């Protein structure tokens, strides 16, 4: 496909502080590991953070879909493999596979990203920026056979009708903030699990997560989380202010 390697691989060690009940890695931490691998992969393609910051740009993830055969466990070493499938209009596609120490695939994911202006977070149109390297197709393999799926995100008024109250409220306190002084998107998965756990769901049975990111959460802001379960689809929706959509997550129980 190109002169670049067909994938980038990141080895990860599963620490006790990253594990929860049953000594299994928190899914939110695994999503963070996927994004760390994506960062490393982007460096190898000329789109590293330092280069982008020099040109006042940044990566923003729009959505991700992940399926998990099993989560890594405490003391386990595992590998995250990732590759770029290129650029479609404004959207950069990136795929992932997760392998245990025996080389068995235990998870896979797909994601959609944009390049954005560092200050405004508006999308950057690549062909208007000759300083950007060409978009690279490392492989044309899609782990789910196609691009990351979209999911629905209802208005808050459609979820919180009448006397319905949020299941849980989260705040952008100090330990929730990342290097950019907002809540890292991987935390939204943790918040969704908290909401489900509080409501009595067996979160250890979750085998698939589709998540869409709409708005960043800054220092001091609060996010209200609601659960929607119609028997066929289980979802968690996060809103801030009156009706600003923050994230939507659909979860599949095994």
Q: What is the pLDDT of residues 36-78, one digit of tens each?
A: 999 999 999 999 999 999 999 999 999 999 999 999 999 999 9
Per-residue pLDDT of 93-137, as tens digits, reads 999 999 999 999 999 999 999 999 999 999 999 999 999 999 999
Q: Where are the alpha helices (DSSP H) in the chain?
A: 27-44, 49-54, 156-159, 186-198
Q: CB under 8 Å, gap of 24 or more: what pairs does 12-17 form?
A: 12/72, 12/77, 12/78, 12/79, 12/80, 13/75, 13/76, 13/77, 14/72, 14/73, 14/74, 14/75, 14/76, 14/77, 14/78, 15/74, 16/74
- The tokens for 9 are 């691989």
Contact (Cβ atoms closer than 8 angstroms) between residue 33 and residue 13: no
Architecture per CATH, 156-253: Roll (3.10)
Q: Is the pTM of this model over 0.85?
A: yes
Please tell us whether the domain made up of 8-128 is placed in CATH 3.10.129.10.
Answer: yes
- Domain residue spans of the chain: 8-128, 156-253
Hey, do 8-128 and 156-253 end up sharing a CATH topology, with the first three levels equal? Answer: yes
């Amino acid at each position: 496909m190109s002169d670049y390697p067909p994938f980038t691989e990141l080895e990860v060690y599963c620490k006790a502080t990253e594990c929860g009940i049953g000594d299994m890695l928190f899914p939110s931490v695994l999503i963070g590991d996927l994004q760390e691998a994506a960062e490393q992969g982007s460096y190898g393609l000329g789109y590293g953070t330092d280069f982008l910051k020099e040109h006042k740009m940044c990566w923003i993830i729009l959505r991700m879909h992940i399926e998990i055969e099993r989560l890594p466990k405490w003391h386990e070493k595992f590998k995250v493999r990732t590759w770029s499938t290129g650029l479609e209009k404004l959207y950069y596609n990136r795929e992932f596979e997760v392998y245990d120490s025996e080389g068995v695939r235990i998870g896979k994911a797909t994601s959609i990203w944009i390049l954005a202006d560092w200050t405004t977070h508006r999308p950057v149109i690549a062909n208007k920026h000759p300083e950007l390297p060409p978009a690279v197709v490392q492989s044309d393999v899609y782990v789910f056979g196609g691009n990351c799926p979209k999911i629905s995100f209802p208005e808050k008024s459609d979820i919180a009708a009448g006397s319905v109250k949020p299941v849980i409220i989260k705040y952008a306190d100090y330990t929730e903030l990342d290097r950019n002084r907002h809540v890292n998107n991987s935390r939204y998965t943790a918040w969704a699990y908290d909401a489900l756990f509080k409501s009595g769901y067996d979160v250890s049975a979750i085998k698939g997560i589709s998540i869409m990111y709409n708005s960043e959460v800054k220092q001091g802001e609060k996010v209200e989380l609601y659960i929607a379960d119609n028997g066929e689809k289980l979802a968690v929706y996060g809103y801030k202010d009156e009706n600003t959509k923050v994230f939507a997550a659909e979860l599949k129980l095994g």
